[in-house]
Amino acid sequence: MATVFEKIPPLMAIAFQNEDDLRIYSVEDNLLKLESGKELEEKLSLMVCLFNGNSDEYDEFVFDRSSVVLSEKKDFSYIYNARLDCSDPSVMRAYISGLAALYDLINEMNEHFTIGHNFTKKDFYQTFGEQEREWYDLPLPEEHDIKFREMVQPVELAYAIDNGKLYSQFLELPFTEAIDNNLKRRELKKHGIFSKPFDRVYVGNEFCPYLFPDDEILSAIIEKAFKEGYKITVVFPYTREDMIEKCHKTLCLLDDISKKKGEKLEVIVNDWGIIDFIKNSRFNLVPVLGRLLNKRKKDPRIKEKRKLEKYYNQLSGNNLNSKHFAKFLKDMGITRYEFETHGIMNEIPEGNHSIHFPFYQMNTGQYCIMYAECKNMNRWKQEFVRACPQYCTEFCFTYPKSLNMIGRGNSNFGFEKSVLKNPEILGSYIGNGIDRLVLDEIF
């Protein structure tokens, strides 16, 4: 039976006549409908490139005895009916087989789009508590624990305080006690990574402006951090136009604080305009590249990617590994970048950088999805939030278990605990320039 494509996806089948590529409209086995920008000779050699889903590459078939007949002269192009023919019959056989495989592949891909997924009711946790317990269940062989204890000694440990509940907790209790309580709640206190005291706190939120503390709370936490001997990093989210004034005011406040303390304050920034402002302002602040500007593919389903091993190296890196961009960032005053553990090992550029764990950001929206779900009962009825009720302190979105994902407020996060389980992973990061580990608990 013939394999027929009435309209073949242009990225999956391309024809060439010498150096000139030709668009393939339709295919029926060795009969093609082609478009060319210029007239073709009746007898010619054609190369047809077909995408192969098994190898994830393009198979190239040369048909040296092909012929074309003009079917239609359009305004600026010629449509030809081509008959592929080859002196080597094995080429035709391989091509026909490749075409049939492509047909099946396209049907399979279309099914993913029409059906989408195979999740059922039993794929979901019953409660958030159940999910939390499973995620933080981290039985560790003793030798791993020993390795963790050794390797964290030279690195800095930072704790992220990124929402109202944590701001209150850390203002109420000594930092060490607050951190200990939270680690115990998650049964992380005995983990080798946390065998040494935390050195630093991150205050603020990279993903949601409504979870960033007001200046009064921010000042109080910074003051307390200094008193208790903790270093501090202030974390800014993306910056909307209506937030510029407030952001400016906060930056001025931080500049004041840092000048009074006689030491520069580190600020994580997720907006190019803010980075430019800090550079030009000569504020006593050290900008750090935030996670929203460290863009890469981060998705628990990355393991479903066809031939992931072929693209793994590229997926490990991004534009931060480009020399010219690193130079640009250095000129802007940025030498530290924030990374996250996710399904792919990050290729860490030269220099000293931080890594967040065990959550990584997948998607963030400027309009809060949780707000839309709670106020309007419809995720698509999104709006600009003028007064945030902080629904995200009460609710989250839970996803199928196998995905290890969670939705909080305006963002989705993946949960990746490899760095908590496997000391080699952490060791590799530390060996490549990670000198700070940042624990993000999110909830």
Partner 1 sequence: MKIVTPLLDADGYIDLVEAGADEFFCGFIPYEWLKKNNNSIPLNRREQLLNCNISSLSSMKILRKRVEKYGAEVKITLNSLYYNEENYGIILNMIKELMAIGYTTFIIADLALIIYLREQGINCKIHLSGENSEINHWSINFFNHYDISRFIFTRKNTVDQIKSCIDNCNKKNIEFEAFILNELCAYSGAYCNSIHSDETLHACNIPYLRTRLDDNSDKFSGVRKIHKLVNQNILLSLDAPKNKDQQSLKEEYVFAKSGCGICAVKRLITAGITHFKVVGRGKPIDQVVQDVRNLRDCIELAQMENSDTEYVQKVKEKYFGGICKTVCYYP
- 132 or 156: whose CB is closer to partner 1? 132
- Is residue 202 within 8 A of residue 170, CB to CB? The reply is no
CB 204 within 8 A of CB 162: yes
Site for partner 1 in 330-389 (CB under 8 A): 361-367, 369, 373-374, 377-384, 389
Tokens read off for 257? 């604080």
Given candidates 135, 148, 277, 283, which one binds partner 1 under the rule CB under 8 A? 277
Nearer to partner 1 among residue 226 and residue 391 (C-beta): 391
Nearest to 402 by CA among 118, 115, 109: 118
CB of 128 to partner 1, least distance (A): 5
Scanning 63-71, 174-182, 250-258, 289-297 for contacts with partner 1 by CB under 8 A, the matching segment is 289-297
- Residue 109 near partner 1 by CB under 8 A: yes
CA neighbours closer than 13 Å in the CB half-sphere of residue 434 = 28
Segment 193 to 232, residues that bind partner 1, using CB under 8 A: 207
Q: Give the single-character DSSP code of 441.
A: -
Interface map 152-191 toward partner 1 (x if CB under 8 A)? ----------------------------------------
Q: How far is the CB of 69 from partner 1 (least distance, A)?
A: 18
State yes or no: residue 296 binds partner 1 (CB under 8 A).
Answer: yes
* Minimum separation from the CB atom of position 207 to partner 1 (A): 8
Interacting positions 307-326 with partner 1 (CB under 8 A)? 307, 310-311, 314-315, 317-319, 321-325
- Which backbone phi and psi does 100 adopt, to 5 degrees? -65, -40
Closest separation in Å from C-beta 107 to partner 1:
10
Of 238, 267, 237, the residue nearest 253 (C-alpha): 267
Q: Does 431 bind partner 1 (CB under 8 A)?
A: no
Could you tell me where the DSSP H helices lie in 186-307?
A: 215-227, 244-261, 272-281
Q: Which is nearer to partner 1, 148 or 399 (CB)?
A: 399
Neighbours of 28 (CB within 10 A): 13
Return the residue of 128, 150, 227, 264 that touches partner 1, per CB under 8 A: 128
Token pair of 217, please? 């709370």
209, 206, 213: which is closest to 359 by C-alpha? 206
Answer yes or no: are the C-beta atoms of 255 and 202 closer than 8 Å: no
